[in-house]
A and B are shown apart, each in its own frame.
Chain A
């Protein structure tokens, strides 16, 4: 068994933030301790902050080698992007 504590990825949402952003990673023996550590390291205890922690091994990342296959096809089909609509001014930014 590895003596090293598992790695956790930390996502935080600031008080006025709309969604959680990846803040960084840290090592902790379990989720509860990871939360406490994340609070100390990444939020400085700013109030009204939400924290998510997830074990790094539970994250499946896309393979950089698949970049072309995954992301290029949408680039050359402009009809995939809803950019042809006239949006009334009163709707504002979308």
Chain B
């Protein structure tokens, strides 16, 4: 695996965390109850912390002097490698929890595998992150069950929410040349092989929530591998990067 691929592989992971962390931060002060407000910002802080570690590591390997801030604030849409799922808008609380849950279950499997990465720094980051992701997965899974098994209205909203984001999950298991090179080098993860574990966990939670697996037939890919994003990411980055664009290279 060459250096560029190694950096790219790390940026994909970091971009997932930062974009989803940013999305969750948008909930701050707007959650259904105070306790959930704290829980969601907590998860956001975990994710942003993960992104920082992954970006710093990627910047060191790249060796071109980019630090975590340069990576977060000085790349435009086409350079971002997050999966499409995490950039989807928050919508209502069910939309946010559906997105979070499907991602958390996948992220848990990915970081479990990464704890054995031959990139020792990445393995250490994964070991730290996995504790956080375990909590995220339980929290979002609990809400899928509560809303699915709640009132008629909450159930309808959770069904609609899962339908809206389900088509973005295929992308999570797609392997391109970078993923294959990372796997061959012992650094990465066999994403295709994670699918049964993901389906099994998601299926168990949906069953407990009394929900069916969505019968969505469309699927969209290209965020992780090509930087082909939905229309939402540009707006997210405009907000995220505004200060750096307006006042470049400030100390903060």
Contacts and interface: CB of A to CB of B under 8 A. Distances in A.
Interface of A: 5, 26-29, 32-33, 36-37, 40-41, 45
Interface stretch (B17-25, B34-42, B89-97, B236-244): B34-42
Query: Taking chain B's interface residues, is the majority helix, strand, or loop, or is none over half, making it mixed?
Result: helix
The 8 A-B residue pairs with the shortest CB-CB distance, nearest first, are A37-B35, A40-B38, A40-B42, A40-B39, A26-B35, A41-B38, A28-B35, A36-B139
Contacts of B146: 29
Nearest to B46: A45
A32 B142 contact: yes
21 contacts: A5-B33, A26-B34, A26-B35, A27-B35, A28-B35, A29-B146, A32-B142, A33-B35, A33-B142, A36-B39, A36-B138, A36-B142, A37-B35, A37-B38, A37-B39, A40-B35, A40-B38, A40-B39, A40-B42, A41-B35, A41-B38
B39 A27 contact: no
A41 B34 CA distance: 10
Interface in B11-52: 33-35, 38-39, 42
A27 B142 contact: no
Nearest to A39: B135
Contacts, number: 25
Nearest to B42: A40
B143 to A, nearest CB: 9
Contacts of B139: 36
A36 B39 CA distance: 8
A8 to B, nearest CB: 10
A4 B139 CA distance: 21
Classify chain B's interface size: 10 to 19
Contacts of B142: 32-33, 36
Most buried by A among B35, B38, B135, B139: B35
B20 to A, nearest CB: 18
Interface string B129-148: 00000010011001000100
B42 A27 contact: no
Contacts of A36: 39, 138-139, 142
Nearest to A47: B131
Contacts of A29: 146
Given A33-B142, A40-B38, 10 more contacts: A26-B34, A26-B35, A27-B33, A28-B35, A36-B139, A36-B142, A37-B38, A40-B39, A41-B35, A45-B135
Q: Specify which of A5, A36, A40 lies most central, judged by the most chain B CB atoms within 10 Å of its CB.
A: A40
